[in-house]
Amino acid sequence: MLANGKQAKAIWNAAREGHWAMGAFNIMDMITAEAVISAAEELDVPVCLQMADGYNPEAPEGMNRMTEAQQHNFDTFVINRAKDATVPVVLHLDHCPTYEGCIRALRRGMPSVMLDASQQPFDDNAALVKKVVEAAHPCGCIVEGEIGHVGGHPNSHGVIYTEVEDAVRYEEATGCDLTAISIGTVHGYYATEPVLNYDRIAEIRAVAKNPLVMHGSSGLREDQFKDAIKAGISKVNFATYIQIAGGAAQLELAKKLIEEDRRPMMMMFNNAGLNAARDYLKMHMTIFGTQKVTF
Ligand SMILES: [Zn+2]
């Protein structure tokens, strides 16, 4: 089922109370979307699919940039697949830098959006997120904001740890529903071992009301996930290593086909990527302790 904003908030609130987390996995194509939803169905747990503002007229041309028609077709697949799912599926707009992009996503049918102004000063960040909240809440949709800054974006300046008092002030100033905090993770591929500040998560969890979000999560060890969730993380954002798991399986297949002098067929690579990504996702949903939710 396609979860609405109220149901999405209820899942993350239940996660906050029960000290488990719902994974929020980035999808770039139909195969990744199918891997995420079918993994959740096999485990009978709710899941969040995250998308970018793919059709963004202001965004530079890039590998994920879509035409308006491509975005519409992709949305149609994802929304229908989510509606048919046997588990609640939350569609979420990830890391949108603009108010206009968030409005586009709400119109596209997403019940949950993130406005990321985490590189801006507190007041500017809060004012922009508040503006999105004022547009989203009357439609029954929810909003994620970020305070502190999780590094790893092409234009970011590294990690800025979230201060406890800022997290509290931020949710009060914005009225947002989910708060992304910076506690030592970075986006993308880990070249060195990240050092996570579990005490900071617990300190923020003790005084803030919102479910807390950890970005830059893929590539962490099992104990790091478990300790972060135990300390108070309720939404785990996960992207890069799903692609690496699927890509590694495809590379293995390519080597095997070359060794056996067999013809490569695209379908074989799609299935190899899908199956490996699904197994990898199931392993992580289990680590996150995601619980069954019914409506
Ligand atoms: Zn992120």
Q: Residue-wise pLDDT tens for the chain (295 aa)?
A: 999 999 999 999 999 999 999 999 999 899 999 999 999 999 999 999 999 887 776 666 665 678 888 888 999 999 999 999 999 999 999 999 899 999 999 998 999 999 999 999 999 999 999 999 999 999 999 999 999 888 776 656 666 789 999 999 999 999 999 999 999 888 887 777 888 999 999 999 999 999 999 998 888 999 999 999 999 999 999 998 999 999 999 999 999 999 999 999 999 999 999 999 999 999 999 999 999 999 9
Q: pLDDT at position 62, please?
A: 60
Segment 100-154, tens digit of pLDDT: 999 999 998 999 999 999 999 999 999 999 999 999 999 999 999 999 888 776 6
Predicted pLDDT of residue 60: 60
Cα 149 to ligand 1 centre (Å): 10
Burial class for 83, CB neighbours closer than 10 Å (0-12, 13-18, 19+): exposed
| Contact of 118 with 125, CB cutoff 8 Å | yes
Active site residue 279: no
In whole angstroms, how large is the CA radius of gyration of the chain?
19
pLDDT given for residue 70 in this prediction: 85
Distance 113 CA to ligand 1 centre (A): 12
Distance of CA 284 to the CA centre of its chain: 13
Spacing of C-alpha 258 from chain mean position: 36
How far does residue 213's CA lie from ligand 1's centre (Å)? 9
- Using the mean position of ligand 1's atoms as its centre, give its distance from the Cα of residue 52 in Å: 11
Q: What's the gap in Å between 235 CA and the centre of ligand 1? A: 11
User: How far is ligand 1, taken at its centre, from the CA of residue 216, in Å?
Assistant: 6
pLDDT at res. 24: 98
- How many angstroms separate the CA atoms of 257 and 265, rounded? 10
Q: Identify the pLDDT of residue 233.
A: 98
Rounded to the nearest angstrom, the distance between the alpha carbon of 50 and the centre of ligand 1 is: 10
Domain chopping of the chain, boundaries = 5-287
- Beta-carbon contacts of 256 under 8 Å, excluding residues fewer than 6 positions away, are none
| pTM of this structure | 0.94
What is the length of the chain? 295
Instruction: Report the alpha-carbon angle 159-283-89, nearest 5.
Output: 80
Q: Quote the ligand 1 centre to 24 CA distance (angstroms).
A: 10
Give CATH for domain 5-287.
Answer: 3.20.20.70
Of 75, 94, 166, 177, which one is the catalytic site residue? Answer: 94
Can you read off the two tokens belonging to residue 106?
């709400």
DSSP code per residue over the chain: -B--HHHHHHHHHHHHHHT--EEEEE--SHHHHHHHHHHHHHHT--EEEEE---S-TTSPP-TT---HHHHHHHHHHHHHHHHH-SS-EEEEEEEE--HHHHHHHHHHT-SEEEE--TTS-HHHHHHHHHHHHHHHGGGT-EEEEEESB---STT----BPPPHHHHHHHHHHH--SEEEE-SS--SS--SS-----HHHHHHHHHH--SPEEE-S-TT--HHHHHHHHHHTEEEEEE-HHHHHHHHHHHHHHHHHHHHTT----HHHHHHHHHHHHHHHHHHHHHHTTPPP---
Evaluate whether 292 touches 15 at the Cβ level (below 8 Å). no
Query: How confident is the model at residue 158, as a pLDDT?
Result: 64
For residue 2, list its beta bridge partners.
Answer: 89
